[in-house]
Structure formats: structure tokens, C-alpha cells
Structure 1
Amino acid sequence: MTIKQTREILLHCLLLCILLLAAACDSTPPSASPAEAARVHKVHLDARSGLQPVKITNEQKTEPLTIVPGEQVKILAEGTIHPTPESQAVGPEGKNNCQTQTLPVPSLPCYALIYRLNGSQTELAGKQANITTRKESTLSLGINHPNAQPSQGGYDVTIVTLPRNSFTGLWEAPTQHFLTQGTSLSLSVRAFARDLDISSVRFTAELPNQQKQTLCEATTASNELYTCVWNFGGQSLQSGPVTLSYTIQADNGNSLSNPDGTRSGTVRYAETQTTANYAGYAGTNLDQSIQHESVRAEWKVPAAYCMPTETSYTGIWAGMTANPMDSDQQSQLAQIITETDCLNGKPSYFATWQTYPAPPQRISKPVHAGDSIIATVEFHQNQFQLKLQNQTQHWEFSTARPGDIADTRFAECILEAPTFVEQGRNTQRLARFDSVAFTCSVDGKPIGDQPHLYVFQMNRGNAVAVITSPLDQKGSGFTVRWTQK
């Protein structure tokens, strides 16, 4: 062997030693295959459903739901069944006072949600059940009753399978296509994890023409339920459609967004104001200056219930003003009104118009209890146009008064205990009535479409309150109702 050959052999040996040493010093473990994701399946069982394998569809193929050895499975159920039209509803836990000899599983409550793995013993699932199996199994679900009918109801069942190192979560609130009115909304997700912990659930919202907003974050759970409250805040939300999302953060650094999809609905920012003289709604924009062109209200004149010698007043109107909470009344309130009054113990009905704080002006037209009224206040070219139609008595009234565009910021549909300027602005006794159903629109749209709302609740001390209902689905209808405390 020549010196050159010996040198080449030594060089190769040196390189081999370096490679072996580097491999020995590398402490990075081989990359693990990604954890299998949790899976969620939803099925509906009507009251007639017997114990049958759960069928799922994968890649356009329907097959039984198979539980893999070592998987954790959670069964969650909600819904009701009515054993008879007159009986109390029964939930997934079932009830115990049935004739057990006729039940598929006599040892379990009737109408209960039950399950079985392959040929093993049938068990109670109820509202929630946790399952593990050591062998591959097919899951069967059913309702423990021999002859119930679909018309009696049923249960919505969610099945969550959790392989090792997996997590997921399901919406608890709000429901899809929700409609909420107020200044806050509770958001909640039921999150499940295996071999790791959930650090937080963060909720976000997408609103038209706005960037996605983080709403709130839940970091603790009660029975796997993560909940936080979205406080709307008049400066950050305007009424309208919204899409809600959530992101689950696990303690291993992984996150998961919307495994149960998003929730879409409508939010109406409605701030409640308790007053001694107002019930109803006002629409405005609390973020910026706004001017309205029209407000329109429809109602039927309520009957007055008068005690002997009683004098009291109830005014119902549509109107506009700069600030309905202005106690000094520096702004003008343009309103068109029907009165339901008691004058010395006798019911009295009539119509007026007013640009408060100027005194009201009576309309010399007949008004009776039950009359259908359309009241409109419009603002054009520095003038308020006040119109009243009595569709029952077949008459119309209209008048125009000068005004300031600043006095159109709030558009209102109100039932009021009147305040008389000539009597030192004292709020008068409220005449008793039953209820008044309003239909209210602003600028040709439901008042519920306004960016922000005031909801007025009337509290008359220890004796009387007038309750304003939430707006209806369309956002234009509501009811005010007299209540005796």
C-alpha cells in the first residue's frame, strides 16, 4: 500500500467518524406523524327510532360509524319527546314510570336515548355519555320505547370522537340565525380535549364594512363550557347582521378555528332607559351626527279605564327631536299625537299636534277607542310636516312648522304620560289602558335597522309600570303594556 492510498483511507475514516459523531450529538427526535383530528357527527333520532347503527357519509359513501380502539367518544343529546299531547315533555334521560315489560330494554328509563357497541350490553346515553373501547366497534343509537311516533318529537345527537392529542369544540350559544337585542350577548363553546388542556377560546365577529373584531376570550370552563360576554358598547357596534367565529387554543401551541362552523345572525344595539313618562323606542346613531327625514307609526287608539272623578292622560305619538333625554328641553320635539284620557271620570279621545315646548294644538276631528291611526313626521327644507290619518273615521290632517335639522337626530315612537308646559312641566297621571301595538319605521325602514336604539321603560313609582316589549323579527313591531305592581 502506497503512502497516498494510506492517506486516502485515513481521510475517509476521519469523515466517517465526523458523520457518526454528528449523528450521535443530534438530539432532535424523529418527526412524529401529525395527530389525527377529532371528528364530529350529528344525527337526529325521532321518537320512533329503534336501536340501529349510526350511519355517516364519507366521500359520498355511507357506512356505519366505527369506533377505533383507544378513541374517546362523547355522546351529547338534546330535545324532547311528548308521550301524549297533554303530558309533560321527556328529555334524553327518559322517565321511570312506564310499563317496563314492553320496553326494548326494561332496565332503562322509557323514552331515554340508549346506545350499544357491537353486541355488548345496551347502556343509557341520556344527555351525555363517555365511551372508550378496546376493540373496533360499531356504535348503535336508539330510543327506549317500542311504539312511539315521529310526531311525538325526538333528539338531536352529537357524537364527538377524540383520538390521542386531539381537541375540538361545538357552539353552545348563540344558535344559528340568532336575533338579539340589548347591549351584550353571551357567547359559549363546549370544548373537548384528549391528552392536552385547552388554554382559551377566543370569539371574533365580522360586521359589514368593518374589520374583524375580537369580542372576548374565555380562559376557564365549567363542565367543558367556555363562556364570555360580548359587551357591544355604542362606540364599537351598530345594529345589523354579524357573523361570529371562535378559535380554540390548546396548551401545546396548536389552535383550531370554527370546527363547528360560524354563527350568523342579527344584533340590535338597544340601550334601556327607565323614565317616569316614556315607553317605546327611539332610533339614532350614537357614534356620529345623524339626521332623519321621516318617522311613521301605526297603532289603534286604546280604551281608557277611568275611576270615578279621575283625571289622567295617555299620549301616543310619532316624533323627532335632538335629545329625548334633555330635561331642560333646549331642543324642539315635533310630534303628532292621539290622546286616551280620563276627564273627571269619563273617557276622552282626541288628536293633537305639538312642537314641544310650545303647547299642544287640538285637531278638530273625531277620535274613538279602536280607531286605526297612521302618524307621520317628516322634515324637508327646514320644515316639519306633521300628518295624521284616522283610517277608521276616514279623515286626514296635516300641518307644517319651521324646524332645525339638529332636531331630527332621534326618531321616536312613544306612549307617554304627558308633561304640561303650562303646569310647570309636571308629568301628569297616566290614564289606564290595556296595551298598544306599534308598527314603527324610520326613513322608510324598520326602526330596528337604526344604528342604535333607546328602549324606554316607564316606571311610575310603587304603583304602575308600562313595559315595552322587544322588537319583532322584522324590527318594526312592538307592544307597550300597562302593568299594576
Structure 2
Amino acid sequence: MSSPRRRAAAAIALSGAISAALISTPAASAGIVDGTALSARPATPDLPASTSANWAGYVATGGGYTSVSASWTQPGVSCRSQTTYASFWIGLDGDGSNSVEQIGTEADCSGGRAAYSAWYEMYPNGPVDVAGPISPGDAVHASVTYNGSGRFTLVIGDRTKGWSHTFTPHLDNPALASAEVIAEAPSDASGVLPLSNFGAVRFTGASANGAALGAFHPDPITMANGGTTKADPGPLSAGGDFAVTWHAG
């Protein structure tokens, strides 16, 4: 099964301009980003502060991010007749910036059957599929590191199956504006795609710049559309652990 091409590409400035490759991205405060309204609420462990049409997880903003990493257990998806998609990833940028450096896994449904895969993306370049089998329950680890002069190191591995891949792409003038650990409903040219029922995904050891993600006071993001919650993050522990839970809506 081929997946859409498509991840959360770089955010455009708050002018409301829309890139051909971009549908929507979250932000850390109330406003309009790429035509998507975002609501701000007080941050508490049980009440996420922002909403997005396609992201759920935690986003650290403020700039100066040169690395991000996390581990997660690959979720299985419950497939019916509808074609659906879900991505689980870590990355730099994409929230209020024109660059994206992301790597993660996929869990899609087509014709009642599930397909699992890995990928990375350096927007504005398109996503690249990563070779290696992935199954529900596998232990996945990923990292993105900026080495200076436009050079990045992206790593993803399946510790259960014993494979790992390292990529060294180049991207001129990266913003390095944010660091994210996210579950996503992917997008294509028509908009945000239906989200796979992934139950829950648990991220562990989420970090940025070598410190636990919580040290940067990241913004918790709930995925919602028209007042209907599609997925939301639980509390972030001191060690960088949290879960994102799918909702039937």
C-alpha cells in the first residue's frame, strides 16, 4: 500500500499564506496558522494548551534547538473498510518555521489491512521511505541532530528487529525554531487525512538539546477538528515520558 505524500510540512509565517505542500500545523499560542485556528488555554497536566487539526503531542518553542530524540512502542491499528493514516515522529521545526527535519514511523489502513513503515522528511524536499520491517509492539528509537553548516544526522532504529539506519541530509538555513514529539494525522493536497485508530502510543525519554523535553516547558497539543477531539497527550513526566491517546470523536 502506498502512503500519501504529505507529512506536516513547514509552517508558513502568520500572514496566512499557504504553501502548496502544507495543510496545517500547530502553534504554541492562540491565532491563525496557515488558515487553521488554534485555541489557547492555561497549561495544566490534564488540560492541553493548544489545538491542531493534525498534531497531538508536545512542542518546545523559542528557538535554538539542535537535537531531539525519543523512543516509542510502535502502535498497532484497528482497520475497517476506510483508508486511514497515522504517523509517529520526532523532529525539529515545522511550528512557525519554513523548514522541517523529521523522522518517524507510520501506521496506515487500506482495504481493511494494516501497513507499517518508517520515513524521514527534510522539507521542502519530499518524504523518503526507510527500509526495514516494523510490527506493532516493536521498540523504536529516533533522533535528529543539527551538526552545523546545514548538515543533519537523522537516525531511526527498530530495537526489536535489530535494524538501524542513519541519514546525513543537508538543508540550507534551517530555522531550528522548535522541537517536537508528535502523533499526526498526515495530510495531502486535499487536506488532513482520516486518522487511523492507533489506540495509544507511548513516547519515552523525549529530549531536546541533551535535556529532558520538560526542561523547555513544551506546549501540549491536542488534535481536534470542529470541537471534536481526535487525539490528545497525557502528562509529560520529568524523564520525558508521555502517551498520546486516540479518540473515536
Question: What TM-score does the superposition give when structure 1 sets the normalisation length?
Answer: 0.40
- Pick the structure with more helix per residue: 1
Q: Which runs of 5+ in 1 are unaligned?
A: 1-182, 184-232, 234-266
The yes-or-no answer on 1:304 pairing with 2:77 is yes
The yes-or-no answer on 1:372 pairing with 2:139 is yes
Q: 1:412 and 1:404 mapped to 2: Cα distance?
A: 20
Aligned to 1:387: 155
User: Over aligned residues, Cα RMSD in angstroms?
Assistant: 2.5
Residue among 397, 410, 430 paired with 2:195: 430
Higher relative contact order (CA 8 A, sep 6+): 2
Amino acid across the alignment from 1:449: A
The yes-or-no answer on 1:291 pairing with 2:64 is yes
Amino acid across the alignment from 2:157: Q
Kindly provide the CA deviation profile for residues 314-358 of structure 1, in whole angstroms up to 9, marking residues without a partner as x: 00001001x51x4xxx61111001001102220100101111343
Q: 1:307 and 1:271 mapped to 2: Cα distance?
A: 30
Alignment map for 1:215-234 (pairs within 5 Å) = none
In the TM superposition, residue 407 of structure 1 has moved relative to its aligned partner by 2.2
Aligned to 1:313: 85
Query: How many residues are treated as equivalent by the alignment?
Result: 206
- Pick the structure with more strand per residue: 1
Contact kept? 1:352, 1:362, Cα under 8 Å = yes
Amino acid across the alignment from 2:83: T
The yes-or-no answer on 1:449 pairing with 2:215 is yes
Residue among 108, 120, 126 paired with 1:359: 126
Aligned to 2:58: 281
Helix, strand or coil: the match of 1:448?
helix
Kindly provide the CA deviation profile for residues 214-234 of structure 1, in whole angstroms up to 9, marking residues without a partner as x: xxxxxxxxxxxxxxxxxxx9x
Q: 1:456 and 1:271 mapped to 2: Cα distance?
A: 6
In the TM superposition, residue 460 of structure 1 has moved relative to its aligned partner by 3.7
Q: 2:175 and 2:161 mapped to 1: Cα distance?
A: 32
Contact kept? 2:49, 2:221, Cα under 8 Å = yes
In the TM superposition, residue 389 of structure 1 has moved relative to its aligned partner by 1.0
Aligned to 1:101: none
Q: 1:466 and 1:271 mapped to 2: Cα distance?
A: 11
Question: What TM-score does the superposition give when structure 2 sets the normalisation length?
Answer: 0.76
Q: Which runs of 5+ in 2 are unaligned?
A: 1-28, 30-41
Amino acid across the alignment from 1:312: T
Kindly provide the CA deviation profile for residues 141-178 of structure 1, in whole angstroms up to 9, marking residues without a partner as x: xxxxxxxxxxxxxxxxxxxxxxxxxxxxxxxxxxxxxx
Aligned to 1:340: 107
Over the matched positions of the two proteins, sequence identity in percent amounts to 30
The yes-or-no answer on 1:417 pairing with 2:177 is no
